[in-house]
Amino acid sequence: MSDQTLGAGPKRIDGRLKVTGQAPYAADHALDNTAYGYGVFSTISRGRIVSLELDAARAMPGVIEIFHHGNFPALHHTPSSMAKGNKVEETRLPFEDERIYYDGQFVALVVAERFDQARAAAQAVKVRYEEETPRANLEQGVKAHGTKKGKGNHSRGDADGAFERGTHQIDVTYTTPVETHNPMEMHSTLAHWPDGRLQVFESSQGVVQQKGAMAKIFNLAPHKVEVISTFIGSGFGSKLWMWPHAVAAAAASREIKRPVELVVPRQQMFTTTGHRPETEQTLKLATDDQGRLIALSHHSVSTTSYTDQYVETCGSVTKSLYSCDNVSITHRTTEVNRGTPTSMRAPGAAPGLFALESAIDEMALEAGIDPLTFRLNQFAERDESQDLPFSSNHIKEAAERAAEQFGWHQRNPKVGSMRDGREIVGYGMAACNWEAIKRPCDAHVALRADGTVYASCATQDIGTGTYTIVAQTLVELTGVPFERIEVELGDTSYPKGPISGGSWTTATTLPAIAEATRHAIDELKTRAVRSGGPFEGVDVEALTFDNGVLSFEGKRIPFAEALSTMKLANAEGEAHTEGADTSKYSYRSFGTHFVEVRWDPLLANLRVARVVSAIDVGRVMNEKTARNQVEGAVVMGIGMAMFERTEYDPRTARVVNNNYAEYLVPVHADQPEVDVILLDYPDTAFNEFGARGIGEIGITGLAAAVANAVYHATGVRVRELPITKEALMGAV
Amino acid sequence: MQSFELIRPESVKDAIGAQSERSAYIGGGTTLVDLMKLGVMQPDHVVDTNRLGLDEIEVLDDGRLKIGARVSNSRLATDARVERDYPVLSQALLSGASTGLRNMATTAGNVMQRTRCPYFRDPAKPCNKREPGTGCSAMDGINRNHAVLGTSEHCIATHPSDMCVAMAAIGATVVVEGRKGTREIPFEDFHLLPGDHPEREHDLRSDELITHVVLDAPLEGAVSTYLKLRDRASYEFALASCAAIVTLEGTKVTAARIALGGVATKPWRAVDAEAALVGEDATAKMFEQVALLAFQRAIPLEHNAFKVELGQQAIARALRDAVQQASQGEHQ
């Protein structure tokens, strides 16, 4: 059984359901009499709808109703508070008025008997617009109306003054493009209103938040809304907060009094379900004559929509990763005609560490110091931005072990000096970093008379392995093996759990599950020593529970038998656990990436040949799923470094490459050997299991490590992602 | 997608009879269905070719290879005669799309493949190819993937096929059948330059159906290679590709066929480069020189200027790789 406890690497308990096609995703749920919605989406990005020609579409086969701003029911805004559990990213409701703020915005919704009928009719709707000149990108936004102050700013010492005093200085600007999450599974909603209640099947990373937002928008008592998301085909952040399609589907269902299913087409996954915004980041660094960092400024501007203020906090890591007395971090935004941005895997840190860790590389080279040595000398010993110790920080060991494994010390620092046949080899490295957050959580666990153990929580498994590590927690605490464990997640009828995002889920959920399990065991013991119980009269403190068996002085009774004897169906435990105490420690995860690139100058071909990553995320709960998270994040980081870029036509602000063929992500052939070292030091100051979460950290810093390796190979310092052939052509 | 009638003829004659201005033939459907979903192609009738036979590969008496229109890209790529006599075609096919798409895609369908220009694929955007006279959105738009050769002021859409590039190098004939009988169209004449009429992509009349593609007999003793350059390692259309076929006598080039993909509005024979190479020594320096000739008339735009150099690199490297086989005794 030890292969199923925490820290081991058992296979996913839901793996078989998934690979055999039995795991129901949102749009797989079948309800009688379901009607299908398909959107009509704006083909301008700024202006207003003058008129809609609907007659032809209305007359088409199967069409039930066409909703638009002229006939959509009046709804309410959600206050959009994460703390209150009703956050959305785009607060404007679909069809709220005739205004168009971005390309691919819902302008109408056709509901028909069949999906194909709805789509055909949607294409037959003619929309007349009054078009205004859009702001298509960051540059145009800044030019049109400047920038606004964002959140997460930080200042200590005098960064500008110290910069001027520096012996070596770096003053450089980096840019990152819009990236689109592109999860495999489309955003989808199946909504219906049984008995005046709203039940929604959604591909969601946060059922509790969606429930709260739906209750506000439809003015319903919270208990009248249920959101279900049992299986999710990934989200990468785009499914944290619900988007207009979900509101549209629920409203349409209420109006036509039938279940309505609405799947967002791939093209509109680029427009109306969030994206990582474009950023421009200026880094000013200076060292003294000893190579000590004395000034660090990180000023960023990111794009947001005209409807909502989303801030990409690019400097969130910069304020605490390195020891420096003079630091200035600012975030500003500029509005453009794009949909509202949202969190994408490691929001802030992913673009932010591309800039910071590229700049650190530039700074080290400017100061004449090996980039690894430069970092080892200056990694912060405590969180200087909060003046708190780190709860647990092994970044130096991570750097040293990964460097050793990678062979960093065989690196010839001279640019372009390492060759292998036609290819020039480049070595680069970067630090990775992500915050650790533990939020309040509720959970329910039952030891059942049939010998099974059951747990439920309204968090989700977005493909990362949450079902499995909850089951492992139950194995650890009850001794009952996987075959007799049932875990239910992703339904708001279960106790409140966290969003599956921010790498919060493990640290937030498992302590609640554990506490509920202990309560269930206590309940079992309490019952067992009462009158009529199998251990009647025994001091409850003396009764033990191990490997599913109650025992006292040689008398051993399995819990199922004990419950049966007492004619009880189960012994239950509920738990509420609080968020982490942030007054004593700064909780963060750490790591380093080492990357080898190969540049073939005669073919303008760049590839990542090898990655070694050492990751310090506290205790590893499942060796297999944890490694899988880092490997996946590294591959996504390669995509960020070399491929991903959502292109908007600068004249129209319309997305150009809105499909899997032209929006490039790495394919199997792009994936190098990825060697992941998991340090596995429990962070017990953070929670009882010492786990900090592992979903995001792997992508942070990876693009910088690639860019630094590219510089080493080619001598070209690429400060604009992605790193394209044309940026490198003409290099030595 | 608009409603359409699916017609499933059992003979080539019936298929031609079913064809009209408002119909489209379907093979594997890997381009057509995509474009129908997007509303770019809206045929009233879809004429299925899957019951017409046309799925044989046969060697003709004169040494040419006759390929049925419905032979899948997968089958063609792995056919023993193709692998032996036309390895450049096999390589080109296998560098395109994915296994699943190649299993569905047909030979004639690949010849008829339409451009990936994103402005063509979006009915809300002006496009002279889709709606003549509306203008070219790509010219001053995002045109990184667009052509630098064979363009006109009305269209810069890239021809996306890999297979056709190899066929252009090999030399081939497109055999078509219409109400007036059979026609044979030289491969280089089949695809049309956009000129003033980018909506006309090929020399196929509205009643005609491609029945076969016949490859020229292989060049005796030739060496060849297909080289495809792109951003990621697989499953992407070419930024630049080159099919090179060379015969040598000692160190001298006696015949050369150079065709380009990813950089031109049709499968592109680099005839100037070929002519300059014949009779010369097969050296890296010479390959670089002739590669320059191939792009003499290139018209680069804001985002695709790098394709000139990339295309030249593709030619030089493809020729080197091919000739290297000769020195290693790996004649095709």
Residue A162 contacts residue A324 (beta carbons within 8 Å): no
Just list the catalytic residues of A: 696
A645 contacts in chain B (CB < 8 Å): none
Q: How far is A30 from chain B (nearest CA, A)?
A: 24
pLDDT tens readout for residues B22-47: 999 999 999 999 999 999 999 999 99
* Cα(A487)–Cα(A470) distance, integer angstroms: 7
Show residues of chain B in contact with A729, CB under 8 Å. 306, 309-310
Q: Which residue of A has its CA nearest to B230?
A: A605
Helix (H) / strand (E) element for B85: namely helix B80-85
Give the distance from residue B83's alpha carbon to the nearest chain A alpha carbon, in angstroms.
Answer: 23
Q: Is B141 on the interface with A (CB under 8 A)?
A: yes
Of B116, B118, B309, nearest to A729 by CB-CB distance is: B309
Contact assignment for B233 to A647 by CB distance below 8 Å: no
Q: What residue type is assigned to position A213 of the chain?
A: A
Is A116 in contact with B142 (Cβ distance < 8 A)?
no
Amino acid at B140: D
Q: How far is A48 from chain B (nearest CA, A)?
A: 16
**B332 pLDDT exceeds 50?**
no
Chain B residue at shortest CA distance from A726: B306
Residue of A598, A726, A728 to mutate, interface with B, max B Cβ within 10 Å: A726
In this complex, how many residue pairs, one in chain A and one in chain B, have their CB atoms less than 8 Å apart?
82
Contacts of residue A414, Cβ cutoff 8 Å, sequence gap at least 6: none
Parts of chain A with a pLDDT under 50: 1
When CB atoms are compared, the residue of A652, A658, A666 closest to B232 is A666
The CA distance from B33 to the nearest CA of chain A, in Å, is 13
What average pLDDT does the segment B148-167 reach? 98
B328/A contact by beta carbon, under 8 A: no
User: CA-CA distances (angstroms) from residue A217 to A67, A77, A87, B83?
Assistant: 17, 5, 11, 63
Residue B328 banded pLDDT, cuts 50, 70, 90: confident
Q: Does B321 touch chain A (CB under 8 A)?
A: no
- Mean pLDDT of the region B187-197: 98
Query: Which of A652, A657, A664 minimises the CB distance to B232?
Result: A664
Of A656, A661, A667, the CB nearest to B234: A667
Min Cα distance A590 → chain B (Å) is 30
What are the chain B neighbours of A724 within 8 Å (beta carbons)? 231
Per-residue pLDDT band at B304 (split at 50, 70, 90): very high
Q: Which chain A residues are within 8 Å of B125, Cβ to Cβ?
A: 652, 654
Q: Which tokens is B163 given?
A: 């297979």
CA-based nearest distance A657→chain B, Å? 7
| Cα–Cα distance, A549 to A555 (Å, whole number) | 10
Residues of chain B found within 8 Å of residue A668, distances taken between Cβ atoms: 234
Q: Is some CB atom of chain A closer than 8 A to the CB atom of B238?
A: no
Contacts of B31 in chain A (CB under 8 A): none
Chain B hits for A730, Cβ within 8 Å: 309
β-strand pairing of B5-7 with A605-616: unpaired
Q: Measured between CB atoms, does B118 come within 8 Å of chain A?
A: yes
Pairing of strands A63-68, A106-112: antiparallel
* CA dihedral over A715, A721, A723, A726, signed as positive or negative: negative
Q: What are phi and psi of B100, to 5 degrees?
A: -60, -45
Q: Is B126 on the interface with A (CB under 8 A)?
A: no
A-chain CB neighbours of B313 within 8 Å are 602-604
Q: Are A264 and A295 in contact (CB under 8 A)?
A: no
Nearest-CA distance B59 → chain A (Å):
35
Q: Which chain B residues touch A38 with a CB distance below 8 Å?
A: none
For residue B282, how many C-alpha atoms fall within 13 Å in the half-sphere facing its CB?
A: 26
- Whether chain A has a CB inside 8 Å of the CB on B237: the answer is yes
Please check whether residue B236 touches A, CB under 8 A: yes
**Inter-chain contact A603–B306, Cβ cutoff 8 Å?**
no
Helix (H, G, I), strand (E, B) or coil at A168: strand
The domains of chain B, with CATH numbers, are: 5-45 (no CATH), 223-327 (3.30.390.50)
CB contact under 8 A, A604 and B229: yes
Which residues, at least 6 apart from A614, have a Cβ–Cβ distance to it below 8 Å?
A397, A398, A399, A401, A402, A405, A591, A592, A676, A677, A679
CA separation for the pair A707, B196 (Å, rounded): 44
Q: Please answer yes or no on whether B306 and A123 come within 8 Å at the CB atom.
A: no
Would you call B140 and A651 a contact, using CB atoms and an 8 Å cutoff? yes
* Distance in angstroms (rounded) separating the CA atoms of residues A113 and A62: 5
The ipTM, to two decimals, is 0.96
Q: What is the pLDDT of residue A190?
A: 98
For A208, the token pair is 């509790």
Cα(A460)–Cα(A509) distance, integer angstroms:
10
Contact A432, A700 (CB under 8 A): yes
pLDDT value, residue B329: 65
pLDDT for the residue B97: 93
Q: What kind and span of H or E run contains A48?
A: strand A47-53
Contact (Cβ atoms closer than 8 angstroms) between residue A126 and residue A52:
yes
Burial class for A139, CB neighbours closer than 10 Å (0-12, 13-18, 19+): middle
Q: Is A222 exposed, middle or buried (0-12, 13-18, 19+ CB in 10 A)?
A: middle
Contact (CB<8Å) A123/B137: no
Q: Give me Rg for the CA atoms of chain B.
A: 19
- Higher pLDDT, residue A680 or B330: A680
Residue from A95, A97, A90 nearest A39 by CA: A95
Whether residue B49 is predicted with pLDDT greater than 60 in this model: the reply is yes
The predicted model gives B70-92 an average pLDDT of 98
Instruction: Say yes or no for a CB contact (<8 Å) between B3 and A120.
Output: yes
Q: For residue B246, which of B318, B173, B162 has the smallest C-alpha distance? A: B318
The CA distance from A231 to A26, in Å, is 7
Averaged pLDDT of chain B: 96
The pLDDT score that the predictor gives to residue A230 is: 97
The predicted-structure confidence for A482-530, as pLDDT tens digits, reads as follows 999 999 999 999 999 999 999 999 999 999 999 999 999 999 999 999 9
CA atoms of B311 and B229, how far apart (whole Å): 9
Q: Please identify among residues 287-306 of chain B the ones whose CB lies closer than 8 Å to any CB of chain A.
A: 305-306
Spatial separation of the C-alpha atoms in residues A705 and A430, rounded to whole Å: 5
Residue among B37, B242, B306 with most chain A CBs within 10 A, to mutate: B306
Find which of A654, A663, A721 to mutate to test the B interface (most B CBs within 10 Å of its CB): A654
Residues A603, B314: C-beta atoms closer than 8 Å: yes
Q: Measured between alpha carbons, how far is B297 from B258 in angstroms, rounded to an integer?
A: 16
Distance CA A405, CA A676 (A): 10
Domains along chain A with CATH numbers:
2-11+438-577 (3.30.365.10), 31-132+184-233+239-270 (3.90.1170.50), 339-436+587-728 (3.30.365.10)
Under 8 Å between Cβ of A649 and A658: no
What is the distance between the alpha carbons of residues A233 and B202, in angstroms, rounded to a whole number? 42
